[in-house]
Amino acid sequence: MMCSLSLFPSPVPAGQVTLYEANNELVSASSADCYEKQEWDPPSLHFPRESLKPHSRPESSSKAAFLDHRDTLWMRSAGAWRDAGLSGLLDEITNSAEEVPKWLTVSSGCVLALLRWMSSFHGSLFPHLTLSSEEMVAEFSQVLDWSDCAVRGFSWHPHTDKFAVALLDDSIKIYNSKSATAPTLKHRLQRSVAALQWKPLCASALAVACHTCLLVWHVDPTSLSTRPSSGCAQALSHPGHSPVTSIAWSPSGSLLVSASPADTAMMVWDVAAETCVPLQRVGGGGVTLISWSPDGGRVLAATPSALFRVWETRMWTCERWPCLKGRCQSGCWSPDGSRLLFSVQGETVIYALTFTDAPGGSKAAAVVADLSATTFSDGDITVGGEVQSLAWDPSGERLAVLLKGDPQSSSHPSIIAVFKTRTSPVFELLPCGFVRGEAGAEPRLMQFHPHFQHGALLTVCWSNGRISHVPFYFSRAGGSRSGLGGSPPIPHLTSKAADNKTHTLYTK
C-alpha cells in the first residue's frame, strides 16, 4: 500500500506554472496571470534576490582595523574578555608575551590549549557544534538553502488573512488583507531570522527566532505606522541559548517553546512574564526543530543526533525515539494530533507514528511513502530524494513534501510533491501531483493557509524571490461548517477523502 513517486502524474514541463487543483487534478498554465481572482486573493509577492542586501556582519578579521593597538594590556584584556570571554582573554595574554611575566604567558597558553582540546573533543561528539551560528541556522532550518534565499521565513496568521515574511536583509514585512499598509519590522537584534510564527488567539504578537535571542513583536493591527519602533518588540534571551532555530507557540496561545542546536535544553517561555523553564534531557546535543501538535497535546523536538523526542505537554515528560540513519529533518502533525509524519536525513521515505492516549502506543514508526528518485521519461526530469520539509494542511487532506534536488544537475530540481491523505480504513497517502513554479525557480519554503474555506491553500516561496499561492479546491469532510465566518477550531476527524463530491468553486 506504500505510495511512491512513480505513481504520480509526470510533472508539467518547465515553463508551465501550477495554478490550482480542481476536480482532482492540478491545473497549470504558462503564466500565473491567467487565473481568475477569488474574493480575497493573497498577494503574490516578488522579492528579487538582487534588491535585498544581506546585512554585513562584523567579521572577526575586521576587528584589528578598528582596535587601537596602543592600548594598555589591561584595556585589551578587558576588551577581549568582553568580546570573546575566557578564551579571548587567555588568547590576548598569550599573545602579548613581552608585557606580562613569563609564567603567566605559559600558564594561560596551557589553559587555552586545554580548553581548545576539550572543545574539540566536545565537537567530535557533536559535530554540529563546530559550525558557526550562521551555518548552524542554514543546516537546521526548514528552508532549503537558507543562507542564499531571498525569503527566509513565512508565517500565516492562524485566524485572519495576514502573513509575515522574513527577508534576507533581516527585515520582516507584514501583509494584511484588510489594510493597505505593510509594516516593516526591523530591530537591532533581528539577525539571521530562522523562523517566525504568529501567536494563536492573539491579533498582534509575532515571535521571531533570531541569531542571539527570541523577539516577540507586538504589531498593532489597527496602527497605520509602516515602521513600528523597536519598543514594540520584547527580546527574550537565555545564556547559552543561541542561535534559535525553531519556535512553536502552544495552540492555546499561552506558551512559547524555543530551541537552539547549541543548547541541550529547550525553553518553555511565559512570554508576558518573560520567564522561562528550561527542559533539559541528556543526549542529542541540542534541539533543532520544534513542532507543536494542533491539539496542543504533544511536541516534537528533533535533535542534531539520530534521535528525536516527543514531549507530552501535560506533565512535560518525553519519549525518546532513536532513528537508525540520521537526524530527524522535518515533521508534521495530523490535525487531531494523533499522527506524526517525519522524515530522516539520509533516507528517502516518510515515516508515520501513531499516538493513542492508551499506554503503550506504537512501538515503531511505519514507512508510508517512498520518495526515492524517479525519472519521468516524457519530461526527461528526475524527482525525488531527501525531504527538506513537510506540511500538512489543517483539514488533514493534503500533504505537501518539499523534496531536495541535485544542485549539480539541471534535470533533477527540488520540487514539491503533494499527496492526498486518507485516514480510514487505514492511513495512506495517495498521489496528487507536483507543484512547479516559473522556469528556473525552485521551491524554498512552503506553508499551508490555516483556515482556507474551500480546501487548502499552499503558499510557496521560490528561489527567485516570488511568493505564490496554490489553492487546492476540494470539499472538506466537515464541509457544511466551513460556511460560517469563524468556525470553531474543532479538529476535523476526516472520515474519508471527499474526492468524488468535489464541487468546483472555480470556473474558468
Report the site for another protein in 235-254 (rule: CB under 8 A).
252-254
**Residue 490 interacting with another protein (CB under 8 A):** yes
Among 64, 65, 224, 273, binds another protein (CB under 8 A): 273
DSSP H/E element including 84? helix 73-95
Region from 10-18, 126-134, 378-386, 479-487 binding another protein, contact rule CB under 8 A: 479-487
Q: Would you call 490 exposed, middle or buried from its count of C-beta atoms within 10 A (0-12, 13-18, 19+)?
A: exposed
* Euclidean distance between the first and the last CA atom of the chain, given in angstroms as a whole number: 36
Among 274, 319, 380, 406, binds another protein (CB under 8 A): 274
**Residue 123 interacting with another protein (CB under 8 A):** no
- The answer to whether 305 touches 126, Cβ cutoff 8 Å, is yes
Among 73, 106, 182, 277, binds another protein (CB under 8 A): 277
Residue 127 gets which letter from DSSP?
G
Report the site for another protein in 389-408 (rule: CB under 8 A).
none
**Residue 202 interacting with another protein (CB under 8 A):** yes
Q: Quick one: 134 or 312, whose CB is closer to another protein?
A: 312
Among 164, 209, 255, 383, binds another protein (CB under 8 A): 255
Dump the DSSP string for 346-381.
Answer: T--EEEEEE--SSSS--SSPEEEEE---EEETTTTE
Among 160, 171, 184, 482, binds another protein (CB under 8 A): 160
Dump the DSSP string for 3-51.
Answer: EEGGGSPPPPPTT-EEEEEETTEEEEESSTTSS---SSPPPPEE--GGG
- Find the shortest distance in angstroms from Cβ 178 to another protein: 8
Among 486, 500, 501, 507, binds another protein (CB under 8 A): 486
Q: Quick one: 11 or 297, whose CB is closer to another protein?
A: 297
- The answer to whether 266 touches 257, Cβ cutoff 8 Å, is yes
**Residue 485 interacting with another protein (CB under 8 A):** yes
Q: How far apart are CA 184 and CA 229, in angstroms?
A: 10
Look up cell 505513481; give the residue: 7
Q: Quick one: 70 or 314, whose CB is closer to another protein?
A: 314
Q: Quick one: 1 or 282, whose CB is closer to another protein?
A: 282
- Find the shortest distance in angstroms from Cβ 461 to another protein: 24
Q: How far apart are CA 215 and CA 206, in angstroms?
A: 8
Q: How far apart are CA 468 and CA 478, in angstroms?
A: 27
Binding footprint of another protein on the chain (CB under 8 A): 157, 159-160, 162, 178, 201-204, 221-222, 252-255, 268, 270-275, 277-280, 313-317, 484-490
